[in-house]
Structure formats: C-alpha cells, structure tokens
Amino acid sequence: MREKGHFFGRKLFACLLVLTMVLSMFGTGFADTAETTTKKIVILHTNDIHGRIESDNSTVMGLAKFSAWVKQQKEENPNTLVLDAGDIFHGLPIVTINKGESMAKIMDLIGYDAMTAGNHDFNYGYERLLELDQMTKFPVLGANVKKADGTTLLTPYVIKEVNGVKIGIFGLATPETTYKTHPKNVEGLVFADPVAEAKAMVAELEEKTDMIIFLSHLGMDEASVNTSTKVAQEVKGIDLIIDGHSHHVLQEGKMIGDTLIASAGEYSKYFGKVEVSLSGGKVTGKKASLVDFKALEELAADQEVESLITAIKTAQDKALSEVIGKAAVKLEGAREKVRTGETNLGNLITSAMLNISGADVALTNGGGIRASIEAGDISLKSVVTVLPFGNIVVTRTVKGADIKAALEHGLKPYPEANGGFPHVAGMSFTIDASKPAGERVTNLMVKGQPIELEKEYLLATNDFMAAGGDGYTMLANKPVGNDFAALDEALISYIRGLGTVAGAVEGRITVINEIPKTEKVQVPVPAPAPAPLPAPAPVVPQEERPAQQTQSYEVKAGDVLWRIAKQFGTTWEKLQEMNSLKNPHLIFPGQKLIVPAQ
C-alpha cells in the first residue's frame, strides 16, 4: 500500500509540475501580449496665442474653433492631452482688461491639461501669474523660475496617466524674460539655465514615467542663447518638445536626435497635433502635423465657448466705460490724418511710449492708430478702440543713421496717405516736400540737439515695426533693450497720470516747400462731326433678373475691404462699386457698408 501510495503521489506531483509549466507558458504569453500592445496617444497643442481669443474670419481661427477641434479629436481618440507653450494670458484688450482672467476661464472650458509660462505671461507681474495659476484647473509650469531663496515659483512638472501610460510634462521659461517683460514684473526672480534644469527634470522623471514632454518657451531663434534646439541636442531622454516664443511654424515638426520638436506658429493661425505610439512602455513612433484656417473652415466653432466669449465681452462693456481722464480737445486719429501728418493723438501715444520705456526717442506707425478720441471724458473703451492690435512697446538700440533711414522710409509716399507714416516723440524733424523720396528729412533733432548719425540711441517702438513691419527693415535685428506693456496699456497708464490731456500739436513734424493742390482745369475740345446713326436693332425681350439681395455690415476696428469681401463671398472691387467708395483703402469703424446677403 505504501508503494502504491508512493507511486500515486509521484504521479500526482509529475502532473502538477507539467500543469504548472503549461500555465506559466500561457501566463507569460498573455503578459507579453499585453505589454506589446501598441497604444496611441494624441497631444494637441497651441503656443503664442497672445490673447487672440476670437477668429478674424481669415487666418486667425480663435479658441472656439480650437475647442471644437479638440472635441472632434477626442471623439476619435479619447487618449488625448491638450497643452500650451506660453504667451497666452496677454495680448489683445479682451484679455488685458481683466489681466488674463478671461483667457483662464476659456482655457478651463476647453480642457487644457498644462501650460508653460511665457515671458509675456509675466506682463501683469509674477504675483498676478500666480493668481491666474490658482484660477485654472491645470498647472502653469516653470521648473527654472526661482525665487530669491532658490525655491521654484511655479510647479516644475506634472505626471498625467493616459490609457495606462504615464507621461511626465515639465516646463521651462526663457531667461530672456528678464528683459522681454518690464523688469519690475520679475523683480527678485532668477531664470535658471534651461539645459541644467532640463537634465534635472529628466533625471527626476525617467524612472517614474513612460514618456517625457518638455513644454518649452525658449524658441528656436539662432540669435537666442537658450533655445529648444540646444536643449534637444544636449539633453537626452526627452521624447517631445512643444515649443513657443519664436513663433516657428513646423508643419511636420523637427527631429533632433531622438527628440521631436513641434511648434504651431502664432495667434491660433495653426493648431498642432502630435500622434505618439507606445509599445512595451516605450515610445515607438511620433508624428507632428498642423491644421490651419482652410483645413478647419467647415468645422463649426464650439457654441459653449462662443457663449462664454459673448458673456465676457458683455461683462467687459461695463469695465470699459470707466473714465480714466479727460481730453481738452478732440484727439485726432482719423485715418486720413494719422497717415499723412502729425496729430495730437499720435503725439500722445509716442509720449506714452517714452514714459513707460525711458527711451531717448519713440516711433510708431500711423496705420496702428484706428480711431479718434472726442473732447471730454476718455474711457477705457476709447483707448482700446484706438489701439486694438495688442502690439507691445519694445526698445532697441539703434544709430542715428537708422533713425533717419526709418523716417525717410515712412515718408516715401508723402503726401499720399501711408500706414507707415512716422509719429514721433523725443525728436523733431522737417519734411522738405520738394525733395525726392529718401532725401526729405531735414533738421532732425533729438532732445533739442542735432542728431549724430553714428551715435547710439535707445528707440522705443512697437513690436510690429521692430520686426520690420510696414517695411521698417532697418529696425529689424537690432540689439534688444526691453519688452514692456501693450501699447494700449501704456497709453491708459499715461492718461491716468496726466488727468487732463491738453492735446496740443507741438510741431514735432513740420513741412516746407509743399506743393499746393490745384484744381484740374478741363480744356474744352471741339466735338467731332456726328457720324450717321445705324438703324436701330430689333428689340429682343430679355428675361428679367431679380435684384441682388443685400444687407448692411458695420465696419469694425481692424477691418479691411478685401477681408470683408471674402467674408461675404465677393470681391473688394464689387464692394467698392456697391458703396461708391472713392478710396477702397479708406473705411472707418462704425461705417455702414452694403454687402451681399448671406
């Protein structure tokens, strides 16, 4: 019996051993299958929005469209993250009026997962950025933004788990922030070396995550010392960089080693998408792409976001009615005036630029001034109507010769109206209208002294002109001074300080040898002998055509005729004819136009 039981026991043990081996084989197979299943993650991204919440119905898509696209993409793949690479809280008046709060609300409604701090996100002061960070459901990242005691001001990183994949996301702000916002906005802060901080972040995250994303506001400009390109070259272990700051448009991204860099231009003209494949806990593929206005033209904007924008604007109407000062006389901003000569409003704006920047001289373009301010109370709304574009005040170091070249350029079409007409402060000059273009500026004085062509001066201008806008290429690529507030913010602050604006035209620009305009005299020409009339052609009845249906359109600040025409499916020439416009380039906010009915 003992032998039989012993045999049975050995047989049972052998069976159990075989069963265990078989199960372990199946178990290993199942585990391998699970681990090698490919997972798809989508990252949707924006950068350098600069307050462009609304669409311009041409190239800027706006955030209601972005929200609709996000929803569409999440329906296709719910394993989706939404990220921003900075410079979003500041820009146009709709976000600056309440210091970024309107943008924070919209971003929350869209469902952003994280953003990094851009230099202009500090434009209200770092304390306000911290308040905005508290308002949002997502973190504002900035691992290299340090307080005096060495601690980080902002959240360094966040780990998001998507479909079982752990994704580490860290953010870095450009060290250029110390001079690309007003220095007082970041007083006491240190922007540590991006490469060193990126290495520290990778070391922190690589054992905790399956994938590492760097939300960068460094940019890719070759003139910058610290760039996303440099980080990608010197820091291993970063799978994806979402870049901002330099406004690069990378249609398919850019690979540097094993790191993919993606960037979506500026102002919501593009939205970015990165598709990532992972298998066995490792990234096996990544693909970047962009969509633009044309690609999403048929996609309806998100009505929930549109409703929020409408509510924000309604609430802001009350805030915009605040009186900030008084005008003793009308401040002239009419298009035909600011594009042809000195006006008291042009003087006021450039004086405000000097006031905020401490520069030697200031220069802005007449095309950026979009309305007048009537005598009496000056409201916030009147200022943002005058300056609707969100341009910021910047300083650049230039030579006297550059200043003269800039003025000559702005006066090339004189006396014809020109959006580049120069309005100035801290200097004065004479236009000799009898001279050819390029030789018209004489008696050029800076602070009451003749300009020295080889001497360096600190020039305050707007960021559009500093980048060569309106053909001011002689100002591009000059040594950078500082970035300051938006132009409208600078003017508001200046008017508050003055209390009452006298509004004098000070003679900063004088004109000599101007050719008087004369009426053209029609010389009568003898009529030719009448030719015999041909026999009348038989009348052929024609089918009566219905009259074209039309509607009224009110011109808004920033509108141009060709863009309105495109909106209503016609041409600017047709609109000019329908409205009997003598000059198709001369339309004004509030003007009523007849347009085809939609």
Beta bridge partners of 141: 116, 155
**pLDDT grade, residue 567 (50/70/90)?**
confident
- Considering the domain architecture, whether residues 101 and 186 belong to the same structural domain is answered as yes
Residue 472 located in a structural domain: yes
Element (H, E) at 592: strand 592-596
Distance CA 179, CA 186 (A): 9
For the cut 90, the answer to whether the pLDDT of residue 591 exceeds it is no
Amino acid at site 317: D
Whether 354 and 362 have beta carbons less than 8 Å apart is answered as yes
14 CB-contact burial (10 Å; exposed 0-12 / middle 13-18 / buried 19+)? exposed
Q: Is the pLDDT of residue 547 over 60?
A: no
Query: Does 335 have pLDDT greater than 70?
Result: yes
Last residue of a domain, one of 279, 314, 349: 314
Listed range (32-36, 175-179, 228-232, 355-359) with the worst mean pLDDT: 32-36
Are 285 and 264 within 8 A, CB to CB? no
Region 403-416 average pLDDT = 95
What span, in angstroms and rounded, lies between the C-alpha atoms of 232 and 241?
8
Confidence of residue 525 (pLDDT cuts 50, 70, 90): very low
Per-residue confidence (pLDDT) for residue 516, from 0 to 100: 67
Stretch among 138-142, 477-481, 594-598 having the lowest mean pLDDT: 594-598
Q: What distance in Å separates the CA atoms of residue 300 and residue 515, rounded to the nearest whole number?
A: 54
Spatial distance between the Cα atoms of 582 and 336, rounded to a whole number of angstroms: 13
Length of the chain: 598
Residue 339 has pLDDT above 70, yes or no: yes
Confirm whether 215 is domain-assigned. yes
Q: Full-prediction pTM beyond 0.75?
A: no
pLDDT confidence tier of residue 548, bands split at 50, 70 and 90: low
pLDDT in tens, 464-475: 899 888 889 999
Mean pLDDT of 309-325: 92
Domain holding 424, by residue range, is 323-512
Sign of CA dihedral 413, 417, 422, 425: positive
Residue that the structure tokens 């265990």 belong to: 20
In a domain, 32, yes or no: no
CB atoms inside a 10 Å sphere around CB 312: 19
Based on the fold, state whether residues 200 and 282 are members of the same structural domain: yes
- Same domain as 337, residue 233: no
Domain count within the chain: 3
- 280 plus 355 within the same structural domain: no
- More reliable by pLDDT, 590 or 464: 464
Do 284 and 358 reside in the same domain of the chain? no
| pLDDT in the model for residue 93 | 86
Residue 308's domain is classified under what CATH number? 3.60.21.10
- Judge if 67 and 168 occupy the same domain: yes
Q: Report pLDDT digits (tens) over 165-210.
A: 999 999 999 999 988 888 889 999 999 999 999 999 999 999 999 9
Q: How far apart are CA 108 and CA 98, in angstroms?
A: 16
pLDDT band at 573 (very low <50, low <70, confident <90, very high): confident
Nearest Cα residue to 455 out of 434, 483, 477, 427: 427
To the nearest whole number, what is the mean pLDDT of the chain? Answer: 87
* 557 band by pLDDT with thresholds 50, 70 and 90: low
Residue 537 reports pLDDT greater than 80: no
In a domain, residue 283? The reply is yes
Residues 296 and 338 in one domain: no
Q: Are residues 483 and 577 in the same domain?
A: no
pLDDT score, position 1: 36
pLDDT of residue 276: 97
Show which of 486, 512, 538 is a domain's final residue.
Answer: 512
pLDDT on residue 144: 97
How many whole angstroms from its chain centre is CA 26? 56
Contact 213, 169 (CB under 8 A): yes
Q: Which residue has the higher pLDDT, 546 or 419?
A: 419
Q: What percent of the chain has pLDDT over 70?
A: 87
**Structural tokens at position 453:** 């062509």
Residue 570 lies in a domain: yes
The least confident of 364-373, 486-495, 519-528 is 519-528
Structure confidence at residue 585 (pLDDT): 62
- The string of DSSP codes covering 30-91 is HHHHHHT--EEEEEEEE---TT--S--SSS---HHHHHHHHHHHHHH-S-EEEEE-S--SSS
* Residues 281 and 219 reside in one and the same domain: yes
Residue 546 has pLDDT above 50, yes or no: no
* Residue 589 pLDDT exceeds 80: no
Answer yes or no: is pLDDT of 80 > 80. Answer: yes
256 and 353 assigned to the same domain: no
The more confident residue out of 313 and 1 is: 313
pLDDT band at 572 (very low <50, low <70, confident <90, very high): confident
Q: Is residue 107 in some structural domain?
A: yes
Instruction: Give the rounded percent of residues in the chain with a pLDDT score beyond 90.
Output: 69
Q: Are 162 and 79 in a shared domain?
A: yes
Helices and strands, counts by H and E, the chain? 16, 28
Contact 338, 369 (CB under 8 A): yes
Specify the CATH number for the domain of residue 398. 3.90.780.10
Which residue has better confidence, 525 or 315? 315
- For residue 26, is pLDDT > 50? no
Residue 175 lies in a domain: yes
- The answer as to whether 11 is a domain residue is no
Reported confidence tier of residue 114, pLDDT bands at 50, 70, 90: very high
Are 496 and 554 contained in the same domain?
Answer: no
**DSSP annotation of 209:** -
Domain with 570 in it: what CATH number?
3.10.350.10
List, in order, residues 6 or more apart from 100 with CB less than 8 Å away. 89, 90, 121, 124, 128, 132
The per-residue pLDDT for 344 is 96
Between 146-160, 275-289, 381-395, the lowest mean confidence (pLDDT) is in 381-395
